[in-house]
Amino acid sequence: MEQGLLEQRLNFLFEIDKLKSVLRQTKLYDDSRFENSAEHSWHLALAVMTFHDKSNVPVDLTKCLKMALVHDLVEIYTGDTFLYHEGHDDNAEEAKAAEKIFSIIDDLPLMLELKTLWFEFEARQTPEAKFVKALDRFLPLTQNWKTHGTSWKKHGIRYSQVVEKNAYIQDGSELLWQQALKIFEECRVAGNLLE
């Protein structure tokens, strides 16, 4: 590999290391601190390995793992947007951030692969994107469940909101969606979600 490409790849690794500093709205399962986006991406990749056989349709595990690892890189520039904030689904700013982060790599095949994975995840049209997106929604709700609704309570989130915002979990895994509904109900009964 020529020196210039090696340096670009190293610069990309240096830049994406910043993801470790982006704090999320969810706490770790032990409620000790807020999770960062790099930890979330790692956790999502392991969740993909753990549950890939529970997708509604067969998925390419390698592609799903890659998607999980790149899906939040844009947060280096945009920060983490809380799912329930207005405008959360407006990803124009994130698309600009994706162009910026992936343009660090001049190695065209690698840059195109990473960029394509990110845009595919956002579009949620392929079986892999639907499944990874489902898990991306499922993990934070399990963190709220295990921390007694910490971020839901902090932001005054209602039962109807979590059902609505997380409904497309069922597009990736009906089994995970059924589990999510049980979790929502348990949290509602316990007072960890507003009516």
Would you say residue 139 lies in a domain? yes
CATH number at residue 171: 1.10.3210.10
Closest residue by Cα to residue 9 from 112, 106, 116:
106
Enclosing domain of residue 49: 3-28+35-190
Confidence band, pLDDT 50/70/90 cuts, at residue 34: very high
- Please tell me the total count of domains within the chain: 1
* β-bridge mates for residue 34, sequence order: 27
Would you say residue 195 lies in a domain? no
Would you say residue 53 lies in a domain? yes
Separation between Cα atoms, residue 169 and residue 191, nearest integer Å: 23
Tokens 């995840």 identify what position?
121
Q: Which residues contact 134 (CB under 8 A, 6 or more apart)?
A: 168, 169, 170, 171, 172, 173, 176, 177
How many CA atoms are closer than 13 Å to the CA of 4, on its beta-carbon side?
A: 2
- Mean pLDDT confidence for 4-20: 92
Identity of the residue numbered 173: S
Would you say residue 59 lies in a domain? yes
Would you say residue 186 lies in a domain? yes
Separation between Cα atoms, residue 16 and residue 39, nearest integer Å: 13
DSSP 8-state symbol, 87 = T
Separation between Cα atoms, residue 44 and residue 73, nearest integer Å: 13
The pLDDT value recorded for residue 102 is 93
Q: Which of 84-88, 100-104, 154-158, 179-183 has the lowest mean pLDDT?
A: 84-88
pLDDT over 90, % of the chain: 84
Closest residue by Cα to residue 83 from 32, 131, 139:
139
Q: 123-132 pLDDT, tens per residue? A: 999 999 999 9
- Mean pLDDT confidence for 143-154: 94
- The pTM of this model reads 0.93
Would you say residue 105 lies in a domain? yes
Report whether 96 contacts 115 (CB < 8 A): no
Rg of the chain, C-alpha, whole Å: 17
Q: 70-129 pLDDT, tens per residue? A: 999 999 999 998 887 666 566 789 999 999 999 998 888 889 999 999 999 999 999 999
Residues comprising the chain, all counted: 195
